[in-house]
Chains A and B, each alone.
Chain A
């Protein structure tokens, strides 16, 4: 009996809920250790980045306006769908060089982390918000709000867990994201995009761009409609590149590639304080 021939997948970008190729027509060759071709992965351009920011900006008010409970359920749904595609994620990681046993472990941790963050949507206000005892007849409270559109440079390793560790906390409060995946493990990122696309997450909330991070980062940092950039996946940037962020006073976030904490959710938030008089 002849062995069945594989159907190979085209690895494309994820922008506004759709899977376009790069407008530039560029791809890069993802090679296995032995030099054989794994896939031609779309290589995003500056125009793709701008399209992704437009999509993220359009989706942001609607995502933030959903109830925290609703966001929590949608993010939990992402974990449910990830769970059903566990094997695929592990295989993606494995093809990019992670031994299969550690790949499986990483996938399980990534799913559990996603569940963990889903549960924070209607809880992190309990911790990050405060009622402030001001010295006067005023009701005064502070509440976290999403920063807006955030750029995320996914850590090169761990490929899936690192991406989840940075993306999930950004989504919890109602930010939308433009993710640069880099060239090391684009396959899991595209698989995650396919999960997001089929998990009730509105189009544009998550946008994923495969390609050369070094090339894309200056455009991301210089984009005036991006409110924050998570540089966890780009630790050794040139000073001049990072300085671009000052153009519109971007929030720069530097965390750890394998971390979970409500403080990471707060990193992607603004704090709003409201004063209201008390009296008859």
Chain B
């Protein structure tokens, strides 16, 4: 029968795809959320001293999920004291081999409970289950696994040095990858013998609190990791605390600058992973279908709540019109909606505040004369949502080309030569990441050489691995996370021969 079909009937050009998908909902039954949570200090959940609580909501339903404790300066002090005690008495003296075994336990339990963590992450933060299940949680487990392997091998990472942990480290993480950022912070700190006081973001505390329960299950000694929930004031209390030996912060550049002011004045070791405005550069000799997928992934992954998002598309002039058409066509197939639906590509915006910031910047883009395009997808009635957006006719001076939007909004600019692409790409305060699409290998390496960015992706985008260092140039911060280089932020190195 098959040979009776005319070849013309097999052409895809006349086919319209029916994009109505039946919902494929991930069950919430794997998760149980407590009515309220204490602070995790000294291995136990304790009430905040002044009893203050705040609510965490699901951004996709606006449903109140739980009451979270707000840590005051007095609570932060308790946490730092618990961390100090654990460092002095146990963790700072423990053999690397035993620290490794604890980290392997954490990695394994994260793997065992991966689906639970993924569902909770999507409920609390709004990201599609496909991403929390396939990216956030497996990578978090991988970070613990990788750093477990370093804990007993530090003498190979830093040969000819006497290696000591910093001591008690204060860590503040953002809401875009709550569990993954926790793993990026905690795993290297513990591997190198530090104890931790960590503050999760106020809109996404739940996976950190579930992680605290996991730490109890693996019998991690009390005080080695302390988790203090709260908003900016809690973070400030941690930054200003006198008995913290090192700070690590991931978040906005403006808050990062405040933290550096405070830490620099005291000579406190600091690493910062801040904002970005990555150039995503597409040459005319790129594999264009793959480049379209890369650009779409680069900006709409995690609703664009990604510091390394490819938010500035630089496309070579000769292919700009057709490439933008392809992008718009691909955008029309993105499914926006319930984060727990396995079909969903773009989930909820993390908070009403963030939705307000995105909306304001998009309005500024229109007002400054850029041309906006959004596919006409239906949005749920409740929750915080923003349509995938693309701006064309963007000028280098426009706010949407200069400021980090941290949402699903792509600004398109054009260039003629590699030199012009480099000049435009580097014309920013940021320098976290960049993307290059061309089939010519030597051009990839020349561009990578010229671009001021800490991570360069070529013919791919948004790749992360615990073995690969991540971090920025310029006002995107300093210090690296992951890889051999990521360890150095958490150790003090000195001459094994003593002072000469």
Contact = CB atoms under 8 A, between A and B. Distances in A.
Interface in B443-458: 443, 445-446, 449
B466 to A, nearest CB: 8
Contacts of B484: 123, 126
Nearest to A116: B152
B152 A119 contact: yes
A126 B153 CA distance: 12
B145 interface: yes
Given A76-B104, A115-B101, A280 B443 contact: yes
B483 interface: yes
A236 B174 CA distance: 62
B400 interface: no
A119 B442 contact: no
Interface in B171-225: none
B97 interface: yes
B442 A279 contact: yes
Contact of B443 (A76, A119, A127, A279): A279
A116 B483 contact: no
Interface string A80-124: 000000000000000000000000000000001001101111110
Contact of B148 (A112, A119, A280): A119
B149 interface: yes
B467 interface: yes
Nearest to B445: A278
B314 to A, nearest CB: 15
A139 B153 CA distance: 29
Contacts of A115: 97, 100-101, 104
Interface stretch (A65-73, A223-231, A249-257): A65-73
Contacts of B467: 68-69, 122-123, 125-126
A262 B149 contact: no
Contacts of A277: 441-442, 445
A279 B156 contact: no
A273 to B, nearest CB: 16
Contacts of A276: 441-442, 445
Contact of B150 (A76, A123, A278): A123
B418 A119 contact: no
A183 B97 CA distance: 33
B384 interface: no
Interface in B465-491: 465-467, 483-484
B221 to A, nearest CB: 20
B61 to A, nearest CB: 36
Contact of A120 (B142, B149, B446): B149
A264 to B, nearest CB: 12
Contacts of B156: 127, 262
Contacts of A68: 467
A164 B452 CA distance: 46
B246 to A, nearest CB: 23
B385 interface: no
Interface in A158-207: none
A161 to B, nearest CB: 15
Contacts of B441: 276-277
Given A116-B152, A262-B156, A280-B418, A72 B445 contact: no
Contacts of B391: none
A115 B99 CA distance: 12
B146 interface: yes
A66 to B, nearest CB: 14
Nearest to A73: B145
A279 B483 CA distance: 28
A115 B100 CA distance: 9
Contacts of A72: 145, 149
Contacts of B446: 278-280
B244 to A, nearest CB: 29
Contacts of A76: 104, 145
Contacts of B97: 112, 115-116
A276 B449 CA distance: 13
A139 B49 CA distance: 58
Contacts of A69: 142, 145-146, 465-467
A16 B424 CA distance: 57
Contacts of B442: 276-280
Nearest to B417: A280
Contacts of B445: 139, 276-279
A277 B445 CA distance: 8
A112 B142 CA distance: 20
Interface in B134-155: 142, 145-146, 148-150, 152-153
Interface in B240-284: none
Contact of B449 (A121, A125, A126, A278): A278
A5 B446 CA distance: 74
B447 to A, nearest CB: 8
Interface of B: 97, 100-101, 104, 142, 145-146, 148-150, 152-153, 156-157, 418, 441-443, 445-446, 449, 465-467, 483-484
29 contacts: A69-B465, A69-B467, A72-B145, A72-B149, A73-B145, A115-B104, A116-B152, A118-B149, A119-B100, A119-B148, A119-B152, A119-B153, A121-B149, A122-B146, A122-B149, A122-B467, A123-B149, A123-B467, A123-B484, A126-B157, A126-B483, A139-B445, A262-B156, A276-B441, A276-B445, A277-B445, A278-B449, A279-B443, A279-B445
Closest 3 CB pairs of A and B: A119-B149, A278-B445, A277-B442
Given A115-B100, A279-B442, 14 more contacts: A69-B145, A69-B146, A72-B149, A116-B152, A119-B148, A122-B149, A122-B467, A123-B149, A126-B483, A126-B484, A127-B156, A278-B442, A280-B442, A280-B446
